[in-house]
Amino acid sequence: MAGKLEKVYADALFELAVEDNTLDTVAEEMEAVAGIMSENSDFLKLLSAPTVSDKDKKSMLSKAFEGRISDTVFNFINVLCDNGRIKYLIAISQQFKDMYNDKNGILEVIVTTTMPLSDNLREKLVLKLEKISSKKIQLVEKIDTSIMGGIVLNYNNTQIDASVKKRLDTMRQQIDSIIA
């Protein structure tokens, strides 16, 4: 759940993007910028550091993003930097993405398996989830060998765990309760 600060900034950006009719572009660019910041956490820490001058922060942002993203997103991250809120960029971006998905009827589902889904299974899964949710499904696939097999679905604070690990854990608990 996003904090109030993240929601306020995401709401402001969302409203501006809707007003300017640039919602799709802003959503795409915010996700890209958040991804860059997430992958380069030292850069985000540097932009958040009180020991780095505002002039240097602006220069770094310019070198990294100016001309590569829309003025709307570039100005937005500069405002975050000016207000000492750049460290919340990733959370703000996630809040913005949630708002975008909600407006566009998109449900993001995280699918965890031990190996990549086949095209056929991916298609069947998307169709089934679309039928159940009445929304467009956006799959985010993750590989985790610790589940040993099966599939785990996460969406809207809901988890469906049909993994081998979960089944073994359940069996272990049942055996432990019988023996104890």
Q: Return the axis-axis angle of helices 41-48 and 23-39, rounded to nearest 10°.
A: 100
The whole-number average pLDDT for the span 117-145 is: 96
| Cα 149 from Cα 118, distance rounded (Å) | 14
Give the pLDDT of residue 173: 94
For the chain, domain boundaries: 4-102, 105-179
**Considering the entire predicted model, what is its pTM?**
0.83
The percentage of the chain sitting over the pLDDT mark of 70, rounded to a whole number, equals 98
Mean pLDDT, the chain, rounded, equals 95
> What are the tokens at 10?
């995401």
* CA-to-CA dists, residue 54 to 12, 48, 51, 141, angstroms: 23, 10, 9, 39
The whole-number average pLDDT for the span 139-144 is: 96
The whole-number average pLDDT for the span 142-167 is: 95
> What are the tokens at 75?
């100005």
Give the pLDDT of residue 3: 79
Question: pLDDT band at 1, cuts 50/70/90?
Answer: very low
CATH of domain 4-102: 1.10.520.20
Amino acid, res. 174: Q
Backbone φ and ψ for 7, nearest 5 degrees, come out as -65, -40
Tell me the pairing of strands 106-113 and 150-155: antiparallel
